[in-house]
Structure 1
């Protein structure tokens, strides 16, 4: 509870001075005993803060005695000067109510039989003084019957209201409270709006406070009866007003929102309990300050200007969301409404202030705003905030000419961490990466997380691309240090793309896209490096988009073709298999090979759909060859699997379905994977490959020797063969180093019990060298290019065998 202090001027006689600008009761225009003895109303001085402490103590201590002493009441009911009549009180109240609520009109209606008669009005309601509003078919009647405040957001749709009457009053929205005296209804206080709106709880509270005063002033019946009673003598009139003032004091004290009367010089004159609680102060301490002293310094200048505008005649009400300083030092957000009360001559008298504590709402809004602009996991800015900052940086570049650079980072092999250690460990790693990146940047730079394992660094005031490269080196150095994730130690690297706005007026989205493009180039180079964007990358990116368009169209229009390249058993000279290779037939009749579109297919996600199609086609063709050629059919058909197929689909289930739907047996199918799959394999990938091996499908490694896999991977995975990459076979004719590598791979395969197949054989000399080294199989243009299935059938029907020095198979077709 707010403790009542011994504020200045709290003695009983002074408390009843409505004409004095610093008195709470002055809201209703009543003059007190001191005015009757001294100066006219307009000359009455404001109550001074810091009055005699002993006088304040005496006044506070005798307040209860004053109200219970009839002799004292008689001493304060002598002749008064300029006491306002009831009509003046009502006019002041309806004016203030309309200002506080922002309504277009306000009115007081008094009961007269079966109707409420409008006796005082303000604004648009002024034109309807004297109007009888029937209790039936009106919100006034409903409020009196139900004994509570009622509102109507749209009178045209409200069954409680007579639409014609509402139209006549120009009331689209209404708020009505019943007026009572001695537990008897005497009338209503109403505010109305010509436009549809919702009157809120604060509006209802305002009417309740003012209604308490009006109810006591009106008495037990309608206006005529009350005025008759008041005319019987000053004693009864002043008694009613004292009761009115007491009701107002109680309403003010117990209002759920902060309420106060503030002097023109900023001193708090009257405050209620809620105001004290909002500011964390006692009443005594608050009355010894000014509103400037409790206003947050950041909001003070704006608030001072608004108050000055009110005093200069620019409006009567000031509404704002602002901050106060709590007694404990923290900020309190409030929704403040300050109404300037003027005398009948128009001179400013004091402010009536209503304050609602909205700190929790503002904190919730701030939290939501932060969440909308930041990554929930790392707390870094997200894409929305990044683009906003980037646009502002580019705008500053136009003015200052300082360079702006963007760095797009993608963690290498992050999926392996997720798959092997779990997503919790992956999240922890992302948080550690965010911390390390942030620690390497200048105060003016920032790092954001776009999602997944992608981060973007924004650099401002960059003089040259070399500065950005220096930052990239620093980031790479910070990331390469081992990170403890749970019980594991992880080394993480990143591929980085750098794009720089070299000229003012660059587009934020385009700059970010260019950095992304450069990052993909860094991935292609082998990862753990950075690339600087150039115009050639943009051309390549446009080309990839066109390739994707062509690829999607080919899938939709059925223009994908599966060709087959035979493989030869170097011991028997016969064709023992065929590799399925995808081609795209363009509308013009030309054919695109895998190197033209496979990378785009993997990047776009189309590889899964395409891969299933190739797998099913290969299985059907293997069965068809067995039916057509019998023993002359290829022993098995090989299909390439990408890392994306293994990581994003249940490949063992897909293979099982393909075998079952085609009628093929598992020994008729071979699957080829790359060294990248070996290196980036997870427990799930190993489980899939083991399941394939259990089916009886042969497994091999394609392009062996081009990656960086450890020899332990060859022992770890259930493999049947390795294929020597064509780049090493091509060097057999001129490069001793290539011959050494080929010889080593063949020897390794022999030691591990694996077959070896040489790719890209094009000359007889290469073939002889491979035979001499002990290579078990070969394929290449020397034998045949990739050809349609029908051509392979024709080739095999001839029963070709490879003698010691044969003519190439392709020449015999």
Structure 2
């Protein structure tokens, strides 16, 4: 194990506790100072003969650790005081410190008097009065480990709180971008996404489709149920649109009857096929309110970039015209915008 110097805290300005009679004689002024410091810090301190490991002096904290009175400890070694396995381990560390010289710091995890304990033991080897001596300073690491655990717990709680705050922030942002009834994007967010898609498709020379859809006029019995019935239909539309679009697509609710879908990287023919499937699902969707079934259908207009329009305004206009054509046909229909042919 590597050698290390003891980390000694500054002495208190108050009068330090004096070492018992004989300690200063046994180990000199340095031992007396160490003894006084240990009294202030609550460390266990012992002085041993480096020759046979017998205790020459112990402070009250060390006597308490060993679970015996001072008179029962002095003149005895660890083999007579502790469990044989623990005594063997400590004796080996004592020999290492004596052979190395200077100071040796060791961490010991021991089955100590029926408990699992962890200590840091600093051993200082020296010679006093021609006799080899070994000073030992025992520090119980339980309070330090408890503080470390408390710090870890506090940090974990802080991280959890930060994650919760971030999730709440995202939820608030998401709520501002989504219609609460259908769960779809708001119109403002949809228009922003469409401009991004238009810019990306222009730069990368790829296609995308825009779909406008409107709920066909409701039967009188459904319309008579008022807003609750319309809310249920909006909820159903939200589920159907989310189920028929990909993560890269964007769907939104424009107003009480109008919806829109942006299909990224999709041409006119593919968009028509997908929206025709959605139209059939809407026509067969079962929506219930207070035991009554609410049937609804939708009309859709499909336009695409760059086949039916070459810019933002043209795309909106061509999609609006396609939706008008679907409604003119009586609703429950998917109409395609006219393909543009450039003449040069």
Is the alpha carbon distance of 1:416 and 1:514 closer, same or farther for their aligned partners in structure 2, counting shifts above 3 Å? Answer: farther
Are 2:274 and 1:471 aligned? yes
Higher relative contact order (CA 8 A, sep 6+): 2
Is the alpha carbon distance of 1:62 and 1:500 closer, same or farther for their aligned partners in structure 2, counting shifts above 3 Å? Answer: closer
- How many angstroms does 1:16 deviate by? 4.0
Q: For the Cα contact (< 8 Å) 1:394–1:506, is it kept in 2?
A: no
Is the alpha carbon distance of 1:55 and 1:401 closer, same or farther for their aligned partners in structure 2, counting shifts above 3 Å? Answer: same
CA distance in 2, matches of 1:447, 1:497: 14
CA distance in 2, matches of 1:518, 1:453: 17
Are 2:52 and 1:59 aligned? no
Are 2:240 and 1:405 aligned? no
Q: For the Cα contact (< 8 Å) 1:395–1:505, is it kept in 2?
A: no
CA distance in 1, matches of 2:163, 2:247: 31
- How many angstroms does 1:503 deviate by? 6.4
Q: Which residue of 2 aligns with 1:498?
A: 302
Are 2:288 and 1:481 aligned? no
- How many angstroms does 1:55 deviate by? 2.2
Are 2:174 and 1:370 aligned? yes
- How many angstroms does 1:271 deviate by? 5.7
Is the alpha carbon distance of 1:483 and 1:61 closer, same or farther for their aligned partners in structure 2, counting shifts above 3 Å? Answer: closer
Structure 1 stretches lacking a partner, 5+ long: 1-12, 18-32, 34-47, 65-267, 281-322, 325-331, 333-356, 537-813
Is the alpha carbon distance of 1:526 and 1:368 closer, same or farther for their aligned partners in structure 2, counting shifts above 3 Å? Answer: same
Is the alpha carbon distance of 1:531 and 1:271 closer, same or farther for their aligned partners in structure 2, counting shifts above 3 Å? Answer: same
What SS class does the counterpart of residue 59 from structure 1 fall into? strand
- How many angstroms does 1:504 deviate by? 12
Matches within 5 A, 1:187-336: 273=150, 276-279=153-156, 324=159, 332=160
Paired positions, count = 216
Q: Which residue of 2 aligns with 1:625?
A: none
Q: Which residue of 2 aligns with 1:448?
A: 252
Q: For the Cα contact (< 8 Å) 2:283–2:296, is it kept in 1?
A: yes
Is the alpha carbon distance of 1:56 and 1:417 closer, same or farther for their aligned partners in structure 2, counting shifts above 3 Å? Answer: farther
Are 2:340 and 1:526 aligned? no
Q: Which residue of 1 aligns with 2:231?
A: 427
Q: For the Cα contact (< 8 Å) 2:215–2:298, is it kept in 1?
A: yes
CA distance in 2, matches of 1:483, 1:274: 55
Deviation track 1:103-154 (CA, whole Å, cap 9, x = no partner) reads xxxxxxxxxxxxxxxxxxxxxxxxxxxxxxxxxxxxxxxxxxxxxxxxxxxx
Q: For the Cα contact (< 8 Å) 1:417–1:425, is it kept in 2?
A: no
Q: For the Cα contact (< 8 Å) 2:302–2:322, is it kept in 1?
A: yes
Query: Larger Rg: 1 or 2?
Result: 1
CA distance in 1, matches of 2:142, 2:172: 52
What SS class does the counterpart of residue 455 from structure 1 fall into? strand
Q: Which residue of 2 aligns with 1:40?
A: none
Is the alpha carbon distance of 1:360 and 1:61 closer, same or farther for their aligned partners in structure 2, counting shifts above 3 Å? Answer: closer
Is the alpha carbon distance of 1:279 and 1:448 closer, same or farther for their aligned partners in structure 2, counting shifts above 3 Å? Answer: same
Q: For the Cα contact (< 8 Å) 1:414–1:453, is it kept in 2?
A: no
What SS class does the counterpart of residue 55 from structure 1 fall into? strand
Is the alpha carbon distance of 1:371 and 1:416 closer, same or farther for their aligned partners in structure 2, counting shifts above 3 Å? Answer: farther
- How many angstroms does 1:475 deviate by? 1.4
Structure 2-normalised TM-score?
Answer: 0.52
Question: In structure 1, which of residues 442, 453, 462 is the aligned counterpart of residue 266 of structure 2?
Answer: 462
Q: For the Cα contact (< 8 Å) 2:309–2:318, is it kept in 1?
A: no
Q: Which residue of 1 aligns with 2:198?
A: 394
Q: For the Cα contact (< 8 Å) 1:411–1:492, is it kept in 2?
A: yes
Q: Which residue of 2 aligns with 1:5?
A: none
CA distance in 2, matches of 1:63, 1:403: 67
Is the alpha carbon distance of 1:393 and 1:274 closer, same or farther for their aligned partners in structure 2, counting shifts above 3 Å? Answer: same
Q: For the Cα contact (< 8 Å) 2:182–2:237, is it kept in 1?
A: no
- How many angstroms does 1:432 deviate by? 1.4
Is the alpha carbon distance of 1:437 and 1:15 closer, same or farther for their aligned partners in structure 2, counting shifts above 3 Å? Answer: farther
Q: For the Cα contact (< 8 Å) 1:406–1:458, is it kept in 2?
A: yes
What SS class does the counterpart of residue 381 from structure 1 fall into? coil
Structure 2 stretches lacking a partner, 5+ long: 1-5, 11-33, 35-104, 110-117, 122-137
- How many angstroms does 1:489 deviate by? 2.1
Is the alpha carbon distance of 1:516 and 1:481 closer, same or farther for their aligned partners in structure 2, counting shifts above 3 Å? Answer: same
Q: For the Cα contact (< 8 Å) 2:209–2:271, is it kept in 1?
A: yes
CA distance in 1, matches of 2:154, 2:270: 55
- How many angstroms does 1:63 deviate by? 7.4
- How many angstroms does 1:427 deviate by? 0.9
- How many angstroms does 1:61 deviate by? 6.4
Q: Which residue of 1 aligns with 2:25?
A: none
CA distance in 1, matches of 2:155, 2:232: 41
Deviation track 1:45-67 (CA, whole Å, cap 9, x = no partner) reads xxx9x944432495236979xxx
Q: Which residue of 2 aligns with 1:303?
A: none
Matches within 5 A, 1:15-30: 16=9
- How many angstroms does 1:528 deviate by? 1.6
Is the alpha carbon distance of 1:62 and 1:509 closer, same or farther for their aligned partners in structure 2, counting shifts above 3 Å? Answer: same
Q: Which residue of 2 aligns with 1:545?
A: none
Q: Which residue of 2 aligns with 1:14?
A: 7
CA RMSD across the alignment: 3.8
Deviation track 1:435-483 (CA, whole Å, cap 9, x = no partner) reads 12332334543322222121111112224x2222212211111111042
- How many angstroms does 1:494 deviate by? 0.9
Structure 1-normalised TM-score?
Answer: 0.24
